[in-house]
Amino acid sequence: MASNSVKRAFKYRFYPTDEQEAELRRTFGCVRTVYNLALEARTEAWREDGGRINYDQTSALLTLWKQTEELAFLAEVSSVPLQQALRHLNTAFIAFWNQRSGYPRFKSRKKTHAAAEYTRSGFRWRGGELTLARMTEPLEVVWSRSLPEGAEPSTVTVSCDSAGRWFISILCEDPRVQALPATDAEVGIDAGLNFLLTLSTGEKISNPRHERRDRARLVRQQRALSRKTPGSRNWVKQRRKVARVHARTADRRRHDLHELTTRLVRENQTLVIENLAVSNMIRNRKVARAISDAGWRTFRNMLEYKASWYGRNLIVVDRWFPSSKLCSACGALAESMPLSVRVWTCAHCGVSHDRDINAAKNILAAGQAVTACGDDVRPRRNSPGGRSSAKQEPRAREGRESRFSEKS
């Protein structure tokens, strides 16, 4: 297999037997326990004398925990997922020290995604059948798509979502992922709500609004849940029904975004998008549901890794860039641009603009400037440290408007 192949995860649904489900649920509980114990030990060590406990030290602690009467149950499951939990915690601390994320948090039995990761020593892959450690029978996997020919999985992650569906993610090298032939096509992309995306080519991609399709069903299921006694068997069953509605909506959204991002990456060599602060934008109650349903963050994540896979260039423009108020024909900056204005005419050159297409063209131009000379795409000022001119409003004000450019 080629050494430069991309490592890719293939996710499948599977149906465990009663014995396999019991074993996996025990494993999930042990993984969560080990993670929390190690996090507590590392936190206490830092509080006491400012010391840091590394992975090797937590691995030694795991051996001691198994020997105690209180935690002897940790020895009843495979040790591989437990060691992987310690590695994941170590990775979380490294990200925290490098200021890429917040301090690691404890895992909750009710809120944490149930998952366990097995490395090569924790499973057997033979003849297209997958058998996990401590199990005698292979998993009944629904092979919805084929693995690469001759694939040898390096890790296998088993998970169960809130809807009660079981999934297995197989990580292996995929030699089929190769850089696409170079092209001169470039595109600027403006995200919105009335239209999910507007391209600099003039194409507008409609917003499927997946959440609206199942809103009535979701309301019925949530009302039924509110009538159940929390913690009862009927409450657990009804909670799973609510989760299934959410899962169906998420699956549809993910499917459409995969098709859309794949098409954009295949057709264009350079893609330019805005650096939207989605976590801040959803604080606006009026548009929070619509923004969450649009999946802008997922869209960007997909573009990032697919552009890396297929040799494309992805440029992210500063979030304060006044793409909506800037004339793409002459470069003049309008003094104001209310959200209700969808078509406007430049007072300097007289060109009429569709608000969203104009924004997409400006985003593309800003990306081209960055590519050519590393130019700053933020609003320019008359003098260093000086105030903006009458035609160039402060960044913070433009930021509030550009964040919701066609997003209301």
Helix (H, G, I), strand (E, B) or coil at 296: helix
Is the Cβ–Cβ distance between 11 and 168 less than 8 Å?
yes
Asked if pLDDT for residue 271 goes beyond 70, the answer is yes
User: Rounded to an integer, what distance in angstroms lies between the CA atom of residue 217 and that of residue 203?
Assistant: 33
Q: b/e map of 335-354 (b: 16 or more CB within 10 Å)?
A: eebeeeeeebebeeeeeebb
User: Rounded to an integer, what distance in angstroms lies between the CA atom of residue 128 and that of residue 122?
Assistant: 16
Length of the chain: 408
Asked if pLDDT for residue 346 goes beyond 80, the answer is yes
Q: Does the active-site annotation cover 274?
A: yes
Q: Does the active-site annotation cover 190?
A: yes
Asked if pLDDT for residue 121 goes beyond 70, the answer is yes
pLDDT at 375: 54
Neighbours of 15 (CB within 10 A): 12
* Closest among 162, 198, 175 to 8, alpha carbons compared: 175
Q: Does the active-site annotation cover 293?
A: no
User: Rounded to an integer, what distance in angstroms lies between the CA atom of residue 288 and that of residue 300?
Assistant: 18
Residue 391, token pair as written in the block: 């035609």
Least confident of 32-41, 258-267, 310-319, 363-372: 363-372
pLDDT at 54: 93
pLDDT at 404: 38
Q: What amino acid occupies position 167?
A: F
Would you place residue 337 in the very low, low, confident or very high pLDDT band (cuts 50, 70, 90)?
A: confident
Local structure of residue 148 (DSSP, 8 states): P
pLDDT at 373: 66
pLDDT at 344: 85
Average pLDDT score over residue span 283-299? 92
Neighbours of 65 (CB within 10 A): 20
Helix (H, G, I), strand (E, B) or coil at 70: coil
Would you place residue 381 in the very low, low, confident or very high pLDDT band (cuts 50, 70, 90)?
A: very low
Between 15 and 113, whose confidence is greater? Answer: 15
Q: Quick: pLDDT tens for 391-403.
A: 333 333 333 333 3
Q: What is the domain partition of the chain in residue ranges?
A: 6-174, 179-408
Q: Determine the longest span between alpha carbons in the chain, in angstroms.
A: 81
pLDDT at 191: 94
Q: Are strands 313-317 and 343-345 parallel, antiparallel or unpaired?
A: unpaired
Least confident of 26-40, 242-256, 262-276, 348-362: 348-362
Catalytic-labelled residue, pool 173, 274, 293, 398:
274
Average pLDDT score over residue span 50-72? 94
Catalytic-labelled residue, pool 117, 173, 190, 293:
190
Angle, vertex CA 301, rays to CA 298 and CA 306, nearest 5: 125
Using CB atoms within 10 A of its CB, is residue 255 exposed (0-12), middle (13-18) or buried (19+)? exposed
Would you place residue 339 in the very low, low, confident or very high pLDDT band (cuts 50, 70, 90)?
A: confident
Is the Cβ–Cβ distance between 131 and 138 less than 8 Å?
yes
Is the Cβ–Cβ distance between 335 and 391 less than 8 Å?
yes
Catalytic-labelled residue, pool 174, 186, 356, 406:
356
Asked if pLDDT for residue 168 goes beyond 70, the answer is yes
pLDDT at 169: 97
Residue 121, token pair as written in the block: 């020593």
pLDDT at 319: 86
Asked if pLDDT for residue 274 goes beyond 90, the answer is yes
User: Rounded to an integer, what distance in angstroms lies between the CA atom of residue 27 and that of residue 9?
Assistant: 22
Instruction: Indicate the helix (H) or strand (E) that contains 171.
Output: strand 166-174
pLDDT at 406: 39
Asked if pLDDT for residue 384 goes beyond 80, the answer is no
pLDDT at 395: 36
Is the Cβ–Cβ distance between 387 and 381 less than 8 Å?
yes
Is the Cβ–Cβ distance between 363 and 188 less than 8 Å?
yes
pLDDT at 110: 83
Is the Cβ–Cβ distance between 274 and 230 less than 8 Å?
no
Local structure of residue 123 (DSSP, 8 states): E
Asked if pLDDT for residue 181 goes beyond 90, the answer is yes
Asked if pLDDT for residue 73 goes beyond 60, the answer is yes
Name the average pLDDT for the chain: 88
pTM of the model: 0.83
